[in-house]
Structure 1
Amino acid sequence: MKNILFKISFTVSSLFLILLTSCSEEFLERPPQDVPVDAEFYKTDEQVLAGSALLYNKVWFLYNDKASFSVGDFRGGTMMSVYNYPDMVQFNTTSNSQMNYDVWKSLFNTIGQCNTYIINVNKYAGPSVNPDIKKQTIAEARFMRATAYSLLTMNYGAVPIITNNFTLVGDTTQVRNTPESVWKFITKDYRAAAEDLKETPLQTGRITKWAAEGMLARTYLNRAGVGRTEGNRNQVFLDSTKYYAERVITRSGAKLEPKYADLYLTKNENNAESLFSLQWLYTGTYSSTTNTAPSSLAFSPSIANGDGWGGDFSATWWILSKYEGINPVVGSPGMMEGKTLDQRLKATFMLPGAHYPEITQTLEDGTEQELRFPYSQGAEISYASTKKYVVGKAKDNAGLAGFHTYEINTYMLRLAEMYLAYAEAAVGNNGSTSDTKAIQYFNAVHTRAGLNAIQGPLTFDRIFDERMIEFSVEAMAWYDLVRLHYYNPQKAYDIISNQDRSAFAIEPDRIPNPTSWTFTKTPWVTVRSYAANDGNFLIPIPATEMSQAPNLGKTPVDYYAGKQ
């Protein structure tokens, strides 16, 4: 259940119905016009909190809707679509791609709204506003701004750093800033947030000091490779990763959810593993404060609420091959078979015959049953459809689900990431590590999935594969590849070029209650993977933005050059 003040932030919309909606104009054309700027608004703690609450959902709506998984998973290689999103699946995103524009627009909109919120609170907050509330909510805005900038620079490289959108009016000099200076800016925002946020949530679902320190662990892991294409990462930043990750693990009070599948149930949102989640509200109708991603991810309307448009979404052959127990068939190229004890597979992707008692399925004759994922006998194409974030009908969610409106939160940072970030930083610039703490942290995630603990040593490849499985359909795979590309681009290219992202069929050994599956590549598909290189690794700036702001084409500059 959401905290009541998240509800208030929606119900007070009579004061500012236009709050935080996406702008139709390009991001450099004007400052956000849709935030509460009335001088009489920020006069109470409740009003200040209500404004910042929408930084947890509405500003992220467009990114969360489709852009996040289209880039994070389709481009990252953990998900594929046979007939849709070809620019992302085929690693051929252009400056005119719709999802490209949605990513750019939504993230800069988030930044603009955070900037304007900070300015408005500083300018209008009345004397009756508790100074701690003011400090907390400004820290939240800086945290959200840093998060948006980290996603922007990992997708586009050099991007313009903007802290006051009002100064952009009539400004023809805005240029991009170097990735190194963008990362420095991100770090400063997160450090400031960590300083000002409390160790316990002000309200359920709000971020804490530990969320900011967790993001610092992620940031330092990313920064460790920036500009270091020789293959060695910055050891100081790797050590900082370990420092912050361990602080979160040992001091935050966060705990791994005992059962992986329970992470993705509406009733378990804001659980002990969640460090930062987008806080969506069931509104009963289509709204930018509600989670619409399940509408696109569900494989069929039969398990949804009149939506369910992800019929051709599937796990890739590549990610399925990473699950322990699913192996190539000797002597039969293009086939693999087996089963896995890894509980994350069933919680992330659906295989034929899989049973999900928590989701209601409507059959063709109108009767209803617990979901058993369909099996198409003899099909040359079938799917390992998306399960994660697919939560079913209203009746499966205490009424908190409907057509294009779901309340299930979106994870942006989980404790599991801290365990694996520590392990990756411990491997660092070595081929492997026997660090007992790193192995212990890795095994905490690994054994939670029902797998046997490893004894070590621990390698980068082992951790990379674990992250791919653990965070599939959480829009993270692409960003792991970008982090690798910073310091070892050829390894990143090799991984992508060897990701099989095309069609296959799945055959269970029996129906119902299958015990294993055979996977066969669709024979008439000739192109199954796509090459990556320096020319197509970064996403190009959308053409509409380049036409509106041609200075974005100029050589990037250091944001901090000449500054104290």
Structure 2
Amino acid sequence: MKRRFTNIYKIAVLALVLGTLSSCEKEFTERSSDDSLIIDDYYNNNDQVESATNGMYARTWFQFGNKFFWAVTEVGSGNMYTGSSDVNAMRTFAINGSDPELVNGWSSLWANVAQANMIINFLPDRVGPGVSQEVLNNTVGEAYFMRATAYFYLVRLWGTVPIIENNVDYLDTPDIPTNRIEDIYTLIERDYQKAIDNLYEKTRGATYTANARVSKGSAKAMLAKVYLYQKKYNEARQMAEQVINSGEFKLLGGAELPNKSFADLFTYPNNNNEESIFAIQWVTDGNYGSGNNSNTQFGISTAAVTTSNTSYGGVFGPSQDVLDLYDVTDRRRHETIMFPGESYPDIKVLLNGTTPQIGFTVPAADQIGGQGAGAAIKKYVIGIVNGSATGPIDNWAMMQNNTYIMRYADLLLIHAEAVLAGAGNTSDAGALASFNAVRLRAGQPAATSITFEDIFTERRKELCFEGDYWFDLGRLPRAEAIAIIAAQNRGNMNSEEHYTPSENDFYLPYPDNDVAKNPLLTQPPVPYQFN
């Protein structure tokens, strides 16, 4: 018997109960205003099947990646500063279950889970004879990849959460217990392995449009990271080496791509470059919640100069703690933070509110505006719209430059750490090759021996403003992480401020509304019964 879209929509109703439904999820269930449309009839060819996951590369991530991601991972870690009331709760560790951005981030991740579940559980039985098995397998593999990635964020941000593999199982049971962290990691590992089994193999070439979707290598890289977080060093090393030896990914500005550079990673024309393992594919399609808002959120916006396409900007700035992170010889410094007096000849700006100009010099510290940081964020800032150099903008000044979830430099540092495997230091040739590839690209001297502290510091420099440092701090012994954060100046250039988190601050509170609907969220987790 054919299942109609109206029944599929009931699955999404459960997602609403869990706080998981967003406009991006409706995109999957509401392909036509005719609610009698039969899902079997829609997926009659390969193009239609491939399109089933389109929304999961952008819209399902919007409320996660718009403000929440930065407000928690970068402000919380002490990499970013903000005084904006909607996003500064993690700066002082005062976030609570009624925080709107916390609710947005939680909802967005569960929307990804629910969307993936629809594809995994219902798509294979509802395709026409014109659909190839290879295409169907790849689409299902993408869904497993997205579900694993959503759960990887959920477990690191909230700890114990419910495991939901099929939303329809809970249509009549909205009270769902949380599951143990070790069980959630088991689900993540299984999902990435299923993604590896089903996704296409790729070689990331110079035709960047062909690199947008995830591959077997993408899933292997993410799985290596999952293993590392659990200190499964041997498994992490083996998986990372499979990716490295495949040759699928390359460092921009590394030995294989010397005509590129670290700076090229964060420009619109280099979306889906050879280093990109998984990136959110923002689009300006006329709908709110499809584009990248970082150019506005991070840029300079003053009467003298603005990099934003709207009348405001600079919601986030660099923290005082990162202003001294880089040696002046480090090529990443200029491309990560805009310091006063630094020049950016390729960024189009607006001078004095009226005059467009390509190229500008960062104004004095007290004239940068924004958050009083004395500097501005450079990563993801591409400036006033400028044809093919920036791509288009939408009505909300959002743009189409990708947001990285993982890139190859991260994988190389994971490999070095996996080889170190908790030891005091290593001079292993493979570990040094991976570590030094990242260092040399940045113009820094090669190391002959490395420690965990070397790798930890290098990760912060390489991935600053990319959402990783909070999770790296979370991997440390709690007392050590607390000491690092307590020593940070979490104020701006005018006011030094220090805040000391408690152990409980390393996991976020559940949204109040969801606790009211599902009181089991606050009860002890239970073992999950895998099929």
TM-score by length of 1: 0.82
Residue in 2 aligned with 1:231? Answer: none
Residue in 2 aligned with 1:533? Answer: 502
CA distance in 2, matches of 1:471, 1:354: 21
Residue in 1 aligned with 2:351? Answer: 363
* Change over 3 Å in CA distance of 1:23–1:371 after alignment to 2: farther
CA distance in 1, matches of 2:421, 2:154: 25
- Render the CA deviation track for 1:213-251: whole Å, top value 9, x for unaligned: 001110000122xxxxxxxxxxxx101111111111121
CA distance in 2, matches of 1:150, 1:242: 19
Matching of residue 468 in structure 1 with residue 460 in structure 2: yes
The range that moved more, 21-30 or 394-403, is 21-30
- Render the CA deviation track for 1:442-497: whole Å, top value 9, x for unaligned: 111011111111222x111111111111111111111112222xxx2222222222
How big is the shift at 1:498? 1.6
Matching of residue 246 in structure 1 with residue 241 in structure 2: yes
The range that moved more, 294-303 or 212-221, is 294-303
How big is the shift at 1:27? 2.2
CA distance in 2, matches of 1:178, 1:251: 34
CA distance in 2, matches of 1:29, 1:291: 21
How big is the shift at 1:320? 2.4
- Contact 1:303-1:392 within 8 A present in 2 as well: yes
- Counterpart selection for 2:283 from 281, 284, 287: 281
How big is the shift at 1:410? 1.0
Secondary structure of 2:42's match?
A: coil
- Counterpart selection for 1:212 from 219, 234, 253: 219
- Contact 1:275-1:415 within 8 A present in 2 as well: yes
- Contact 1:295-1:307 within 8 A present in 2 as well: no
CA distance in 2, matches of 1:165, 1:148: 15
- Contact 2:365-2:374 within 8 A present in 1 as well: no
- Counterpart selection for 1:385 from 376, 387, 411: 376
- Contact 2:368-2:375 within 8 A present in 1 as well: no
> What one-letter code is carried by the residue in structure 1 that aligns with 2:91?
V
CA distance in 2, matches of 1:319, 1:461: 17
- Contact 2:300-2:368 within 8 A present in 1 as well: no
- Counterpart selection for 1:423 from 412, 416, 428: 416
Matching of residue 495 in structure 1 with residue 502 in structure 2: no
Residue in 2 aligned with 1:152? Answer: 154
* Change over 3 Å in CA distance of 1:38–1:293 after alignment to 2: farther
- Contact 1:393-1:401 within 8 A present in 2 as well: no
Residue in 2 aligned with 1:113? Answer: 115
- Counterpart selection for 2:385 from 380, 390, 394: 394
Secondary structure of 2:503's match?
A: coil
- Render the CA deviation track for 1:84-119: whole Å, top value 9, x for unaligned: 423111122211222211111110111111111223
Residue in 1 aligned with 2:46? Answer: 45
Secondary structure of 1:245's match?
A: helix
Matches of residues 310-329 of structure 1 in structure 2 within 5 Å? 310=314, 313-324=316-327
Matching of residue 134 in structure 1 with residue 126 in structure 2: no
Secondary structure of 1:240's match?
A: helix
- Contact 1:154-1:479 within 8 A present in 2 as well: yes
CA distance in 2, matches of 1:160, 1:463: 33
How big is the shift at 1:354? 1.2
CA distance in 2, matches of 1:389, 1:354: 17
- Contact 1:305-1:401 within 8 A present in 2 as well: no
The range that moved more, 412-421 or 367-376, is 367-376
- Contact 2:20-2:114 within 8 A present in 1 as well: no
- Contact 1:30-1:166 within 8 A present in 2 as well: no
CA distance in 2, matches of 1:83, 1:65: 14
* Change over 3 Å in CA distance of 1:199–1:34 after alignment to 2: closer
> What one-letter code is carried by the residue in structure 2 that aligns with 1:273?
E
The range that moved more, 256-265 or 358-367, is 358-367
Residue in 1 aligned with 2:3? Answer: none
Count of residues in correspondence between the two structures: 491
The range that moved more, 289-298 or 462-471, is 289-298
- Contact 1:197-1:209 within 8 A present in 2 as well: yes
CA distance in 1, matches of 2:439, 2:137: 38
CA distance in 2, matches of 1:136, 1:434: 40
Matches of residues 157-172 of structure 1 in structure 2 within 5 Å? 157-172=159-174
> What one-letter code is carried by the residue in structure 1 that aligns with 2:526?
V
Secondary structure of 1:359's match?
A: strand
> Percentage identity across aligned positions?
30
* Change over 3 Å in CA distance of 1:257–1:29 after alignment to 2: closer
- Contact 1:282-1:400 within 8 A present in 2 as well: no
- Contact 1:307-1:404 within 8 A present in 2 as well: no
How big is the shift at 1:432? 1.7
Residue in 1 aligned with 2:362? Answer: 373
* Change over 3 Å in CA distance of 1:94–1:341 after alignment to 2: same
Residue in 1 aligned with 2:32? Answer: none
How big is the shift at 1:399? 6.1
Residue in 2 aligned with 1:478? Answer: 470
- Counterpart selection for 1:459 from 423, 447, 451: 451
* Change over 3 Å in CA distance of 1:81–1:447 after alignment to 2: same
How big is the shift at 1:137? 0.4
- Render the CA deviation track for 1:337-356: whole Å, top value 9, x for unaligned: xxx11111111111011111
CA distance in 1, matches of 2:77, 2:123: 38
Residue in 2 aligned with 1:341? Answer: 329
* Change over 3 Å in CA distance of 1:386–1:396 after alignment to 2: farther
| Greater RCO (Cα-Cα under 8 Å, separation 6 or more) | 1
TM-score by length of 2: 0.87
- Render the CA deviation track for 1:384-443: whole Å, top value 9, x for unaligned: 211111111221544623242211011111110111001112222222222222122111
- Render the CA deviation track for 1:317-362: whole Å, top value 9, x for unaligned: 22223212xxxxxxxxxxxxxxx11111111111011111121121
Residue in 1 aligned with 2:522? Answer: 553
* Change over 3 Å in CA distance of 1:221–1:273 after alignment to 2: same
How big is the shift at 1:538? 0.9
* Change over 3 Å in CA distance of 1:28–1:500 after alignment to 2: closer
CA distance in 2, matches of 1:245, 1:23: 37
> What one-letter code is carried by the residue in structure 2 that aligns with 1:240?
E
CA distance in 2, matches of 1:50, 1:531: 46
How big is the shift at 1:379? 9.8
Residue in 1 aligned with 2:340? Answer: 352
Residue in 2 aligned with 1:544? Answer: 513
Matches of residues 404-419 of structure 1 in structure 2 within 5 Å? 404-419=397-412
